[in-house]
């Protein structure tokens, strides 16, 4: 019979390209992963890996094994979750959750209070990961649940074995000093009004920088970007010190000081936050307990 742990290791090697990277992901040494590959080859009766420069590639037999492995792990997980579900649907044990930082702070952290109250036998272990990495962790089995967001309006691709469910829509507001001329407005801000003022914004390549660029996509005016800062607490400090404007997602927004105010936009930029988990774990009471509390907290 094939060793399930060796099969899991082979799938990690296939996804990451080297024994060392697979070892890091699974918490083993490279030597241990190598031994698992040798054991798997003895069990199958043929080679599953071939050397390719400094990395490795799968042999045709290795690819065939990996392509079939998903069905094996899905069946094993359904077996476990069926047993847990039959146990009166009790949510207990550990849920390994990965997610981007602002969702952890803005959604998950507040929800943990209610989760601990309602499900005292359930523990959530949290790790911060970007959406593409988080989806890979769920797919590979190193995480049970992920919080991800769409990238500039386009969802990060996920394999068919991963289920996604929208749980929250995050909007961006303009942060400014209470003494700023726009702070006295009683209606939402139009994008064209903002081009004449100086800004602090997130660096290029971030979601918030994409949001910022779209604010002024319809104007030819040159916008004065004085500061490029990724940390939102630092952005707020610069807003207060230098009288600049900042575009900050609500999930990412630290507590505003008495001298600052958040002003909504007419067409506020938005991103959809989704929860993702393996289809084979769909019967898990623990996963659905976390989803239910997150859904309540979001509303």
For residue 73, the tally of other CB atoms under 10 A from its CB is 19
Neighbouring-strand partners of residue 265: 189
Average pLDDT over residues 208-228: 87
Higher-pLDDT residue of 25 and 174 is: 174
Answer whether 87's CB lies under 8 Å from 278's CB.
Answer: no
Average pLDDT over residues 23-31: 84
Task: At 291, list the tokens.
Answer: 């989803």
The single residue listed with the structure tokens 């030597």 is 31
Residue 275 three-state SS? strand
Average pLDDT over residues 4-29: 83
Higher-pLDDT residue of 290 and 66 is: 290
Give the model's pLDDT for residue 45. Answer: 83
Average pLDDT over residues 133-158: 85
Residue 120 three-state SS? coil
Please, what's the b/e burial string for 104-126 (b: 16 or more CB within 10 A of its CB; e: otherwise)? Answer: bbbbbeebeeebeeebeebebeb
- What does the DSSP assignment read for 219-252? --PPP-EEEE-S-HHHHHHHHHHH--EEEEETTT
The single residue listed with the structure tokens 């899905």 is 74
Give the model's pLDDT for residue 15. Answer: 80
Give the model's pLDDT for residue 119. Answer: 93
Average pLDDT over residues 85-96: 74
Q: Spell out the residues 6+ positions from residue 211 whose beta carbon is closer than 8 angstroms to its own.
A: 172, 247, 269
Percent of the chain with pLDDT over 70: 94
If pLDDT is split at 50, 70 and 90, which confidence band does 53 have?
confident
Taking only Cα atoms into account, the Rg of the chain, rounded to an integer number of angstroms, comes to 24
The single residue listed with the structure tokens 């575009």 is 247
Higher-pLDDT residue of 173 and 63 is: 173
Answer whether 41's CB lies under 8 Å from 9's CB.
Answer: no
If pLDDT is split at 50, 70 and 90, which confidence band does 246 have?
very high
pTM, entire model = 0.70
Average pLDDT over residues 80-93: 65
pLDDT at 85 over 60: no
Higher-pLDDT residue of 7 and 134 is: 134
Q: How far is it, in rounded angstroms, from Cα 130 to Cα 144?
A: 15
Could you give the domains of the chain?
A: 4-83 (1.10.10.10), 90-169+272-298 (3.40.190.10), 170-268 (3.40.190.10)
Average pLDDT over residues 177-183: 94
Q: Across all residues in the chain, what is the average pLDDT?
A: 87
Distance of CA 28 to the CA centre of its chain: 24
Average pLDDT over residues 144-161: 82
If pLDDT is split at 50, 70 and 90, which confidence band does 147 have?
very high
Q: pLDDT, tens digit, for every residue of 106-136?
A: 999 999 999 999 999 999 999 999 998 999 8
Higher-pLDDT residue of 101 and 56 is: 101
Mean pLDDT check: name the lowest of 17-21, 120-124, 181-185.
17-21
Distance of CA 295 to the CA centre of its chain: 16
pLDDT at 2 over 90: no
pLDDT at 54 over 60: yes
Task: At 112, list the tokens.
Answer: 């943990």
């Amino acid at each position: 019979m094939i060793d399930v742990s060796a099969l899991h290791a082979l799938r990690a090697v296939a996804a990451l390209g080297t024994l060392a990277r697979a070892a890091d992901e699974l918490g083993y040494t490279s030597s241990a992963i190598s031994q698992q590959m040798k054991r798997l080859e003895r069990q199958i009766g043929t080679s599953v890996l071939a050397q390719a420069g400094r990395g490795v590639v799968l042999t045709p037999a290795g690819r065939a094994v990996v392509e079939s492995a998903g069905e094996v792990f899905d069946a094993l997980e359904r077996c476990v979750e069926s047993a847990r579900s039959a146990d009166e649907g009790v949510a207990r044990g550990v849920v390994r959750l990965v997610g981007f930082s602002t969702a952890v702070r803005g959604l998950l952290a507040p929800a943990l209070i209610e989760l601990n109250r309602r499900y005292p036998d359930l523990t959530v272990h949290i790790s911060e990961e970007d959406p593409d990495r988080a989806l890979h962790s769920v797919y590979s089995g190193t995480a049970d649940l992920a919080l991800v967001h769409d990238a500039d309006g386009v969802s990060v691709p996920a394999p068919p074995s991963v289920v996604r469910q929208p749980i929250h829509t995050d909007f961006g507001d303009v942060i400014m000093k209470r003494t700023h001329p726009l702070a006295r407005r009683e209606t939402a801000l139009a994008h064209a009004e903002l081009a004449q003022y100086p800004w602090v914004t997130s660096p290029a390549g971030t979601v918030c920088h994409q949001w910022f660029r779209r604010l002024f996509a319809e104007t030819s005016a040159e916008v004065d970007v004085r500061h490029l800062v990724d940390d939102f607490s630092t952005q707020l400090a610069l807003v207060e010190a230098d009288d600049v404007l900042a575009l900050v997602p609500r999930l990412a927004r630290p507590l505003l000081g008495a001298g600052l105010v958040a002003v909504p936009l007419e067409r506020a930029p938005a991103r959809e936050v989704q929860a993702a988990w393996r289809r084979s774990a769909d019967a898990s009471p623990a996963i659905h307990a976390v989803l239910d509390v997150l859904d309540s907290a979001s509303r």
